[in-house]
Structure 1
Amino acid sequence: MTRKKFVVSALVSALAGGSQLAQATDVFRLEGFGAVSRGMGGTAVAHDVGPAGMMTNPATLSLMPDGDQAMIGLDLVTTDINVTNKATGESVSSDTHSNNRGPYVAPEAAYTKRLGGWSFGVGAFAQGGLGTEYGNGSFLSRATGGLATGLDNSSRLLVLNIPFAASFQVTEKLTIGGSVDAMWQGLNLDLLLGADQVGSLIGAGRATGSLVGALGGLPDLRGAHFSLTKDKFLASGVDAWGYGGKLGMIYRATPETILGASYTIKSQMNDMEGRATLTAIDGIAGQIAFGGKIQIKDFQMPSHVDLGISHRLTPQWTVAADVSRVFWKDVMKDIKVAFVADAGGDINILLPQDYKDQTILSLGAAYEVNDSLTVRGGLRFASQALSSSTLFAVIPATPRKHLSVGLTYAFSKQAKLDFAYSHAFKETMDNTSLPNTSAPIEVTHAQNNATINFRYSF
């Protein structure tokens, strides 16, 4: 009974305690799950990373020792994001301007059980997200003609994953696994579009509906602002539930070498829905606010294929490498917004994104200093998924090079503490193109991530 209470408490704490999102580092995805994987550059396809292995390759659960294991932990992410107006030289940094913005905290909790050839697991993890907060006084909050609006520009995306995983050791060499994942995602967004951006969307057929005519009928339209934000502990302006899943295998080619492969399906999320305010900014009439219902349609997490190898060089040294292909192109062509005003009228907007598929190489090594201490290090390199011509200041998901270190300290055979630190090197990207920016901008983004887990075997 005590064991069950501990497991339930850990999972509930993870779901309820995720006060803020993790700033994603592989676009909207974290660069590894659990401190063991994170300390080795995010590698997790072909070696034992503990209960967090269910998030990458469920078959690795069979690499864990017999018995039960519980894990609870968190990520702490601090970002360094700066946007510069290349025409005027003005700049603004993403900072803590509201109650639910950085530093960002993401939960991790899991429970696994191994019975002979079978292993089972359930967990609760932040799969990824995004977060920016530029406040309401920068050049991003000025409409066309330099009109100050006092309106926020910010974002907060959080994706939670709750996997139910199992693996089976078919032979001494081959193990297969899979998971069915419940998923939740929530989005806060404050976004100002200048009149030139609105006109560009209309001219390209990307803004339609009866409210388009209402905006065009204003005497001196300067811009339009969407606000779908809740300054709450976890709640978001719009959210949705859905599901996903994974299939995986590992093959022990030699006693020292393991090969692994996994496939994560494209998520099947419902449209995110909630309340929003559309504010028309006019140079003569002022600000005209329309309350209503909003949907962010068909916002999905991508499918991806992961291949990996691990090799024990000596009794102390283990090295690992993963290669991943993430199919962003299939899910991030446009951000689809549908708004219906309470007073009547609607507007549908397609914000172009045109992401490219991404290839990621992860490298890691671990050294067992003694029975109590293991140290780790890793590197991670990714191709750029975002296009400069469609970059939004509030969606700067650009980092693609990481360096990580980590360790595990065993207090006993049952209790272990894992820690990892990873640094995302500064990435710079420009955008001078309508409709996603009015002023020519340069965005720089770097960040630091600390991950800590406690694992207990019984």
Structure 2
Amino acid sequence: MKKSQILGIAVGATLAVGLSVSAFATDGYQLIGIGQYAMGMAGAVVAAPDDPLSAAMSNPAGLALMTPQAAFSAEIFNPTRKTNFGFGETGSHSNVYGVPAIGWVAPAFGDGIVFGGGVYGTSGLGVNYLQQNTPLGTMQGYSSITFMQMSPSLAMKVNSHLAVGASLNIAAEQGSFQQTIGQTVPGGVNPVTHFPYPPSTSLTGLNLASPSWAYGVGATLGLLYKVNDMVTLGATYKTPIIFTPMTWQETGEVAGSLTNPVQGGSGQYSGHLNYPQQVALGLAIRPIPQWLISVEGQWINWAATMNTFNIYGPWTGQSHVGLPMHWSNQWVANIGTQYDVNNWLQVRAGYTWGSNPISNANTANNLLFPAVVQNAITFGATQKLGMGWKLTEAYMHAFANTISGPSSYAPFGAPDPASATLAENSYGLQVGYDF
């Protein structure tokens, strides 16, 4: 077998690891909540939005019930990831990211109508795996996504029971990805496969490491219905956010399946990473005026956006190569509670569970973006400081979860199955001001 054929098959195995988008936070690659009130409530705010961020990003109808105010949130997101390509476990070399957010609401266009919105961003989400001295040489897996969303919103209080709202979701994302094999020995024979090593200078695979921007638009529709002083119902529908393609100018690529690697020439490569549609229903109950219990159910249509990532470009004999991810749709259940201790202190806690969108059978297709956590707990508090100022803090811990399945490198003597492990922590602080 020729060296180029051997390397092509190895690269095909590497590309079977797959690509997706940023896969941190409990709900696939979607944050549990935007802002520290929503985080402290474990995202259960569709029926109980309480600040501009939780309303604009989760249920814009809630803006109609708020006094003029603004909020600024800063969050440190700390995921811990480990993977096994089949040659032993390795950890990611990046684990701290920032999540800033700003929200506002003010009267507009007449009685009962308000204008508000929110802006948030996540930076650098992804992994950075480097594993040396495998039978195939040095394996490098790298992914990075920057995501920003602005949601200008209008809301109206229809009557004493009903409020409705809508947000225009304007988003930008920047992505870069790399899955390559580079040899660490100067030729010789692989003792496991008995195949000759390519030269030590070889580096091949999918290398889209130059960041590329894409821009998208979608919408959120929401309503709140106050049944009585104890019970409020909430519902939202978020359309997909449809993005322009990300593009990369490259001198050559290798992709495809394990048994059929595809060579790509010099030119432009591109791919779409759209954001899925979703539906959420919520119920908020106040057994007594100072105690709030909020529950929520959510459906996220990952199967429509995360089934296959198609990379278009100057491939030999075809227009695009599809990288399989095969995410399933996700069901999420959240519960949060808040208690007013006194006139200046509120405390809250929550729990969220999400079904895993990645099956064990598809572990090897998603090692670069392990969206596998399922259970998380949150805690938070708000202090009303006087003169309109308030301070809100939150902490989230997502418990470690591991999936495992067949390794793409089994034909090359990989002794272990493929696996992905993810755990998360986040720490946030938010400053609010009521005008």
Residue aligning to 1:117: 112
- For residues 48 and 307 of structure 1, do their structure 2 counterparts lie closer, same or farther at Cα, with a shift above 3 Å needed? same
Task: String of CA shifts for 1:148-198, please: whole Å, max 9, x gaps.
Answer: 24x63111122211101111111110111101111111111111379xxxx
Superposed displacement of residue 451, structure 1: 2.0
Residue aligning to 1:311: 285
Maintained 8 Å contact 1:353/1:387: no
- For residues 347 and 433 of structure 1, do their structure 2 counterparts lie closer, same or farther at Cα, with a shift above 3 Å needed? farther
Match for residue 92 of structure 1 among 87, 90, 93: 90
CA distance in 2, matches of 1:84, 1:435: 11
Give the alignment's Cα RMSD to 1 decimal: 3.0
- How high is the TM-score relative to the length of structure 1? 0.77
Amino acid aligned to 1:158: T
Superposed displacement of residue 61, structure 1: 0.9
Residue aligning to 1:226: 206
Residue aligning to 1:456: 433
Amino acid aligned to 2:152: F
Match for residue 320 of structure 2 among 348, 355, 361: 348
- Are residues 1:294 and 2:282 paired? no
- Are residues 1:61 and 2:54 paired? no
CA distance in 1, matches of 2:122, 2:65: 23
CA distance in 1, matches of 2:40, 2:92: 27
CA distance in 2, matches of 1:328, 1:276: 29
Amino acid aligned to 1:406: G
What 5-or-longer segments of structure 1 have no aligned partner?
Answer: 1-20, 97-101, 195-218, 231-236, 282-287
Superposed displacement of residue 433, structure 1: 5.0
- Are residues 1:357 and 2:329 paired? yes
Amino acid aligned to 2:45: A
CA distance in 1, matches of 2:350, 2:356: 20
Amino acid aligned to 2:74: L
Amino acid aligned to 1:422: M
Maintained 8 Å contact 1:23/1:104: no
1:417-432 maps to which residues of 2 (within 5 A)?
417-432=391-406
CA distance in 2, matches of 1:159, 1:425: 24
Task: String of CA shifts for 1:42-81, please: whole Å, max 9, x gaps.
Answer: 111111330111111100112212xx21211222111111
What 5-or-longer segments of structure 2 have no aligned partner?
Answer: 1-21, 183-196, 256-262
Higher relative CO (Cα under 8 Å, sequence separation at least 6) belongs to 2
Residue aligning to 1:49: 50
Tell me the secondary structure at the aligned position of residue 62 of structure 1: helix
Tell me the secondary structure at the aligned position of residue 61 of structure 2: helix
Amino acid aligned to 2:353: F
Residue aligning to 1:387: 359
1:212-361 maps to which residues of 2 (within 5 A)?
224-230=204-210, 237-276=211-250, 278=252, 292-296=267-271, 298-340=272-314, 348-361=320-333
Match for residue 153 of structure 2 among 154, 161, 165: 165
- Are residues 1:445 and 2:422 paired? yes
- For residues 158 and 42 of structure 1, do their structure 2 counterparts lie closer, same or farther at Cα, with a shift above 3 Å needed? same
Amino acid aligned to 1:170: V
- Are residues 1:191 and 2:165 paired? no
Superposed displacement of residue 132, structure 1: 0.7
Superposed displacement of residue 386, structure 1: 1.2
Maintained 8 Å contact 1:118/1:169: yes
Amino acid aligned to 2:38: S
Amino acid aligned to 1:59: A
CA distance in 2, matches of 1:256, 1:396: 40
Maintained 8 Å contact 2:124/2:145: yes
- For residues 349 and 409 of structure 1, do their structure 2 counterparts lie closer, same or farther at Cα, with a shift above 3 Å needed? same
CA distance in 1, matches of 2:409, 2:239: 31
CA distance in 2, matches of 1:280, 1:338: 12
Task: String of CA shifts for 1:303-358, please: whole Å, max 9, x gaps.
Answer: 000000111121221110010011111111101112348xx998621011111111
CA distance in 1, matches of 2:411, 2:29: 21
CA distance in 2, matches of 1:443, 1:277: 31
Tell me the secondary structure at the aligned position of residue 38 of structure 2: helix
- For residues 62 and 293 of structure 1, do their structure 2 counterparts lie closer, same or farther at Cα, with a shift above 3 Å needed? same
Superposed displacement of residue 85, structure 1: 4.9
Superposed displacement of residue 243, structure 1: 0.2
Match for residue 128 of structure 2 among 121, 133, 148: 133
* Seq. identity, %: 26
Superposed displacement of residue 36, structure 1: 0.5
Maintained 8 Å contact 2:66/2:105: no
- How high is the TM-score relative to the length of structure 2? 0.81
Maintained 8 Å contact 1:30/1:127: no
Maintained 8 Å contact 1:46/1:260: yes
Match for residue 409 of structure 1 among 383, 392, 403: 383
CA distance in 2, matches of 1:268, 1:280: 27
CA distance in 1, matches of 2:85, 2:310: 27
Residue aligning to 1:147: 136
Tell me the secondary structure at the aligned position of residue 37 of structure 2: helix
